[in-house]
Chain A
Amino acid sequence: MAILLKHARVVDPRNGRDGEFDVRIDNGVVAAVGKGLPVDGATVIALPAGTVITPGLIDMHVHLREPGQEHKETIATGAAAAVAGGFTAVACMPNTDPVNDHAAITDLIKLKAREAGLARVYPIGAVSRGSKGEQLTEIAELRQAGCVALSDDGRPVATSLLMRRALEYAGMFGMPIIDHCEDPSLKGDGVAHEGYHAARLGLRGIPGEAEELWIERDITLAGMTHGIFHVAHMSTAGSLRAVRNGKSRGIRVTTEVAPHHFVLTDEALEGYDTNVKMNPPLRSDIDRDALIAGLADGSIDVIATDHAPHHRDEKHVEFDRAPFGITGLETCVSLTFDRLVHRGVIPLRRMVELLSVNPSAILRVPGGSLSEGVPADITILAPDLAVTVDVAAMKSRSKNTPFGGWTLRGGIVGTIVGGELKYANSLAPGGDALAAGFAR
């Protein structure tokens, strides 16, 4: 069955396209993109004016919790949250229980993702066995099983020697090492950004320098080894300086920022809402403004959510006892539209680079373009849709977001993976037409 999407604005930076084009999907692939394409037996779906078609969005930093913590999220519920948030693919961190440090666990994740049949799921393997920071995992085997990168996320890569060896060894496969950059002794038992607000509220601080020092270490080691280093969830102005400096020296370093770090600051701690507790913590307004500048000027490569579902019972406790992390898959696109695109920080083309082109390039996975012949992973966006964040309606099994009730401008119309419609938003103009077209 062929589908012809008409009248939408196609934003496909890799092919230099930004304008009104028709997109033909046939046999699960992008069959043609052009002006005035013939119907030629296809089902025509006319999208409302203003609708935007982009290469499928990819969230390269999520926690799907399965195996081991299915009360927080499963691969199926996480994948459902992904497509509802406009993501055709996600890369999931290995800090499950057990840790994804063995091909058998990678196989399980791939199997569960296939069964769910929603978003593509790219497993990230552990750098060290059990993420304990001692011995390397069997990296070649993990790669063969389908891991696209390596990380001990949740913890930093424990020693300089381990990071050095991982960069060297994984470099031969072109796999990036994604490090959760944080000096453990400077972090201590901190729970919030070290600054006025944490001090006033009596919360133990995590200084920004804990992250910056570790990034400097990893950049130095990446330079030494010619390995590929990706900074997970970067949060401070000093970290951005370090990354810019590393890039200017030709070191292979890329970085991602989570929406909560470009939207909120540590001022949100007032009131002790455990849904503003995450690691790295919400930083100062200086840091937030620096990240926004880095997103605008290209020195930040990726927006990734660090989607970290936790059960309500786990978050319904004293602030310092709550686990770190918030969900992100279903709010990312609206926050990015509202805070970055509509405020003139970045154009739509750059949004697509941050959420699709660059993550696919860093992870070396398909996607990131609407070239003819590629699998039809497509996100359809409504830039002017008024979205009220409805926590109860979210697909994620967990509801730990600080953005509930927020009104944002910009949302999802639908998500297509491999030529199949995986999500249609009936609240968006064109959502029902999309669903009807694919149902025919």
Chain B
Amino acid sequence: MSTTNEPATLRGKHLLGIADLTPEEIVLILDTADAMKEVGSRAIKKVPALRGRTVVNLFFEPSTRTRTSFEIAEKRLSADTLNLAVASSSVVKGESLADTVHNIEAMSPDMIVMRHASSGACEFLSRICKSRIVNAGDGMHEHPTQALLDAYTIRSHKGRIAGLKVAILGDLLHSRVLRSNLLLLRKLGAEVWVCGPPTLMPPGIERYGVHPTTSVDDAVRDADVVMMLRIQLERMQGLFFPSLREYFSVFGMTPERVALATPDAIIMHPGPMNRGVEIDSAVADAPNSVILEQVSNGVAVRMAVLYLLAGGSEA
């Protein structure tokens, strides 16, 4: 699966977004994740790659899945990890992000994994920090490890990314998962269709080289991958659509709609799901749903990212 000119490591010091990665670097991460996945299948799920390194998981937004996934990945690499759910501490006392992070840096961590509600917060951090920064989701901007684990999951089922038709449906406007996925899938040569109500379509989305549509049928027809994005319940207040009920009737992924896709299409969702809003339970729990596999693969992919950022040594 690896290309001949595959680099040995990543050029950048940080992982701020898919935008900064070359196709070769993306493939390197996915190939490395293959090796990491094997670690997770051992009886003793641990390698010494990050022994003696300190990783701080700095989460300014609630997160169960991503935070847990990073923590398990760090522990399997033998890093010393520290979890800070900052929403409940300094920020409430009025401390700025810069001050919070400078205080953490004073204790010499090697890496900071950050989730933050503000787009660009990780880039801001990378300008003021010495540590390596891993973006675990910044506002509506990027969620690179999610896109990498999605690509890993797609590749493990389809053997490739290039040439696949991928349909992404849901709240496109507010989704960092979408933005990272569009960049990654286009860099690796997939044909991407995005579908949602016009109120949730990001301006200029066609500049990503994708096909925007409001027709679920057009998006899903002959798709190899059908990916739903979460509809946040509070979007109704922004007048983006009239009701969850109507959203489901127009855009919800039902078995009938999935039937338009290729027979071996896979169903994906980054979670957390709203059953009966963007996805029917019959689709979420169907045999071709890989939603839980995405979660499992998340650990391997994050191990690969941390390992490669740390220099890829001491494997």
Q: Report 25 cross-chain contacts, Cβ distance below 8 Å, ordered by A residue.
A: A188-B238, A195-B203, A196-B203, A196-B204, A197-B204, A199-B202, A200-B202, A200-B204, A201-B120, A202-B119, A202-B120, A202-B141, A202-B179, A203-B119, A203-B140, A271-B123, A316-B96, A316-B98, A317-B96, A318-B116, A318-B120, A318-B124, A319-B119, A320-B119, A321-B118
Give the Cβ gap from B211 to chain A, nearest Cβ, in Å: 16
In Å, the complex CA distance between A317 and B141 comes to 16
List residues of A whose CB falls within 8 A of some B CB.
188, 194-205, 271-272, 313, 316-321
Q: Which residue of B is nearest A272, CB measured?
A: B120
Contact A319 B204, beta carbon cutoff 8 Å: no
**A175→B133 CA distance, assembly (Å):** 54
The residue in chain B whose Cβ has the minimal distance to the Cβ of A198 is B203
Q: How far is the CB of A183 from the nearest CB of chain B, in Å?
A: 14
**Contact yes or no, A319 B118, CB < 8 A:** yes
Q: Is the CB of B204 within 8 A of A202?
A: no
Candidates B98, B123, B139, B142; contact of A317 at CB < 8 Å: B98
A203–B205 Cα distance when bound, in Å, is: 14
What does the 1/0 interface line of B192-207 toward A look like (CB < 8 Å)?
0000000000111101
Residues of A near B121 (CB, < 8 A) are: 318
Chain A residue at smallest Cβ distance from B201? A199
Contact mask for chain B residues 94-111; partner A; CB cutoff 8 A; 1 contact, 0 none: 001110000000000000
Residue of A nearest to B238 (CB): A188
When distances are taken between beta carbons in the complex, the residues of chain A under 8 Å from B207 are 196
For chain B, what secondary structure do more than half of its interface residues adopt (helix, strand, loop), or is it mixed? mixed
Contact A202 B176 (CB under 8 A): yes
Query: Do A320 and B139 have beta carbons less than 8 Å apart?
Result: yes
Q: Which of B226-278 contact A (CB under 8 A)?
A: 238
Distance in Å: Cβ of A323 to nearest Cβ of chain B:
13
Q: Closest Cβ of chain A: how far from B140's Cβ, in Å?
A: 3
Report Cα–Cα, A59/B124, bound state, in Å.
33
Q: Which of B129-156 contact A (CB under 8 A)?
A: 138-142
Shortest Cβ gap from B91 to chain A (Å): 11
In the assembled complex, how far is the CB of residue A318 from the closest CB belonging to chain B, in whole angstroms?
3
B205:A199 contact, CB within 8 angstroms:
yes
Residues on the A chain within 8 Å of B124, using CB: 272, 317-319
| CB-nearest residue of chain B to A194 | B203
Give the residues in chain B near A196, CB-CB below 8 Å: 203-204, 207
Q: Which residues of B lie under 8 Å from residue A320 when comparing CB positions?
A: 118-119, 139
Closest Cβ neighbor of B118 among chain A residues: A318
- The answer on a CB contact under 8 Å between A318 and B176 is no
Cβ-defined contact, A201 with B203, below 8 A: no
CB distance from A314 to the nearest CB of B (A): 10
Given A271-B123, A318-B116, A319-B118, residue A202 in contact with residue B98 (CB < 8 A): no
Bound form: Cα–Cα A304–B123 in Å: 32
Instruction: Provide the bound-state CA to CA distance between A420 and B141, in Å.
Output: 53
Complex interface: chain A residues within 8 A of B179 (CB): 200, 202
Q: How far is the CA of A100 from the CA of B142 in the complex (A)?
A: 43
- Give chain A residues whose Cβ lies under 8 Å from the Cβ of B204: 195-197, 199-200
Contact between B119 and A317, CB atoms less than 8 A apart: no
Contacts of A321 in B (CB 8 A): 118
Assembled-state Cα–Cα distance A307/B118 (Å): 26
Chain A residue contacts of B123, Cβ below 8 A: 271-272
Cα A196 to Cα B138 in complex, Å, equals: 18
